[in-house]
Amino acid sequence: MSETIDYAAYALRALAGEAPTRAGALALLAAPDGDLRAMLLAAFTVREHHFGRRVKLCMLRNARSGHCSEDCHYCSQSALSAAEVDTYRMLPEKTLVEGARAAVARGARRYCMVTSGRGPSARDITRVRTVVRAIKREFPALEICVSLGILDEEQARELKAAGVGWVNHNLNTSERFHAAICTTHTYADRVRTVLAVKRAGLAACCGGIIGMGESDDDIVDLAFALRELAVDALPVNFLHPIDGTPLEGSASVTPVKGLKALCLFRFTNPASEIRAAGGRERNLGAWQALALYPANSLFIEGYLTTDGLAAEPTRHMVEALGFSVEDDEDATLSACGEA
Ligand code: SF4
């Protein structure tokens, strides 16, 4: 272990609500690989304080796929992508409600509906509201997240009134690096959406992607930006370089680097729900279970256009490491401030 890095001090700062210094944040990402165990244990102290050993499972549904006007280089559905992905218009209400039933049946506490595109039309908002009302009638306790692109405050309020609790809109990377991965909208557009979501009283789910060619400085900038925005949930994706996208052939994130990044986000955003998200299986491989030390949430059953670990082996992995899948009862206790 490094003789110069006191990982317990990072945990103490985080528990006191203080962020690491910028130099301290960079030092985490550059730490010797042999320090990983100590770093994970320090991050776990913070995670355990806020979330115990609970793991929230989330399940995604790609509610509209492909034909996007935007050029996000990592995305298989972008205007630049030649990837072979399913393309379809907004799925019918029945299919999306069935998706919610499947999520509940597999133990997910949150169901996330995602649409391709720059942002929703008025018709899209109306359709999503109808679907969300139907899901909430059947599953009042199921947390509903939507990821619809750029939103204004009025649209966010309409979604909230229908029963949406969370809106996902990632910053993806640092302000400095953003133009290298997307030119059709700006980092500022993304920040504006997150702020609109928060003003509307919705929980903001906002994170990023590691492994797009960014520097450690960019990862640290992202972590501090997400702290500044006080995001409620923070999905950390690891690039899955899909053939046909501008980032095809990119090198994988090493498991150690991915885990260090998760620890960094736990220290900068100690009380945020941190989710080991897309690309977890591909990049972390057999090390993915260790993500539970800094992170308190996982996706099950795959992502928008890529596969992931199914619910049952995910639950097995969670329980084998001494964690437990969060259920309705846990959520009730959390809401009462008792857990
Ligand atoms: S990430 Fe979203 S906005 Fe960007 S290209 Fe993909 S579907 Fe479009």
Residue keyed to tokens 């491989």: 285
pLDDT digits 0-9 by tens, 114-139: 999 999 999 999 999 999 999 999 99
- Measured between alpha carbons, how far is residue 47 from residues 33, 42, 54, 304 in Å? 21, 9, 10, 27
* Contact residues of ligand 1, CB 6 A cut-off: 68, 70, 72, 75, 77-78, 116, 118, 149
pLDDT in tens, 207-222: 999 999 999 999 999 9
Cα(322) to centroid(ligand 1), Å: 37
DSSP string, 289-301: GGGGTT--EEEES
Of ligand 1's listed atoms, the one at least distance from the Cα of 68 is: 8
Counting from 1 in the atom list of ligand 1, the atom nearest the Cα of 76 is: 6
Q: Taking a C-beta distance cutoff of 8 angstroms, is the pair 231, 195 a contact?
A: no
Q: Whose CA is nearest to atom 4 of ligand 1?
A: 72
Task: Quickly list DSSP for 154-184.
Answer: HHHHHHHHHT--EEE---BS-HHHHHHH-SS
Q: Which atom of ligand 1 is nearest to the CA of 116?
A: 7
CA of 66 to the centre of ligand 1 (A): 8
Q: Is the pLDDT of residue 337 over 50?
A: no
Model pLDDT for residues 92-101, shown as the tens digit of each residue: 999 999 999 9
Cα(115) to centroid of ligand 1, in Å? Answer: 9
**Mode of pairing for the β-strands spanning 110-115 and 233-238:** unpaired
Give the pLDDT band of residue 24 (cuts 50, 70, 90): very high
Predicted confidence band at 339 (pLDDT cuts at 50, 70, 90)?
very low
The Cα–Cα gap between 311 and 108 comes to: 8
pLDDT tens column, 307-316: 999 999 999 9
* pTM, entire model: 0.94
- Most informative mutation of 67, 72, 150, 186 for ligand 1 (most atoms within 8 A of CB): 72
Place of tokens 């809109």: 169
Domains contained in the chain, CATH given: 20-335 (3.20.20.70)
